[in-house]
Amino acid sequence: SQQGEEDPQALSIQEGENATMNCSYKTSINNLQWYRQNSGRGLVHLILIRSNEREKHSGRLRVTLDTSKKSSSLLITASRAADTASYFCARRDSSYKLIFGSGTRLLVRP
């Protein structure tokens, strides 16, 4: 499959809890990105981590990258109902093509 693997496929948490989503891939990357999608339409870029970086923060988001394990994780701290969406990782490969994972559907219960 051209897609990476993401887990879990679906996650339901209570508002205020942290949400962790994982992404694995098979080939080498130039960078790895996380996107959010509401209502099955356009995606919005959240954060990018380069292959020589291990961790990156942006507001309530924390992304880690382990190139030896070919995996990344996205942590959303202190979740809010408005964080309910689908989250996708996307890897940029050596040809700069952008390949997306299968996504995690996050539900944050008020």
Residue from 14, 41, 52, 69 in contact with other proteins (CB under 8 A): 41
| 69 lines the binding site for other proteins (CB under 8 A) | no
Angstrom distance (rounded) from CA 55 to CA 80? 23
CA atoms within 13 A on the CB side of 37: 16
**Are the beta carbons of 47 and 38 closer than 8 angstroms?**
no
| 3 lines the binding site for other proteins (CB under 8 A) | yes
| 31 lines the binding site for other proteins (CB under 8 A) | yes
Contacts with other proteins by CB under 8 A lie at 2-3, 6, 30-31, 33, 35, 40-45, 48, 88, 90, 92, 95-103
